[in-house]
Structure 1
């Protein structure tokens, strides 16, 4: 496999979204990792973004939102600046994707199986192919919500 994300013809799903459950490994210390239940989510209504819910066993998971393109590029090489960075694993971590999240309290490195992330991205492509995101945006609705003082983005 070349590591490229397969192009899938556009298809409509009933819920217009997809998700995949992940068992992320958190690198606590060299040689010591902990398991964190997580989920990657995508909604066609928010076509540029992916949602990473961690600690899905909690009543309210911790959610990070970042660009689908950042995740896709991170399968092939280093991607992202600032609070979210993604890169492929190397050496003994080959077959993994390393996601670094940085917040006020510091940084954490999450290790996800690359094949699961690749399959998730292929599912997002079936909903909204890369390059066709703009056609899925409801710019009039967004402008209306902003002018009315409402939320800029539809709910999860």
Structure 2
């Protein structure tokens, strides 16, 4: 009986690991829905230009003066952040102000989300969302973000 329980626990743990490394809520935000919105800048980089950073993929969204879009972004970030291996977060006025999340790896690639909400500072404040994948460790990503 105890072997069966051990096996069952191992199976559930394996399933949860696979489920946690599935599609991210923030990935859906990069589906092109903001491309025609002048308040949003979308950047996607892949390939050899990222080799110096030990990354394979970089995506970012920058929102300026778009308070109506922020709840959608914040919800996606906090959803994905709940499954993070490592996180640093800060809240202001009941909203996520800063978030840095190291997510479970997928296809042997490390994944990170960075979120900064400066929209509460002014009506034209910025919100930045960055998603990266690659072989860079957490310290390399933090150094890159400081630049």
**TM-score relative to the length of structure 2:** 0.28
| Higher helix fraction (1 or 2) | 2
**TM-score relative to the length of structure 1:** 0.27
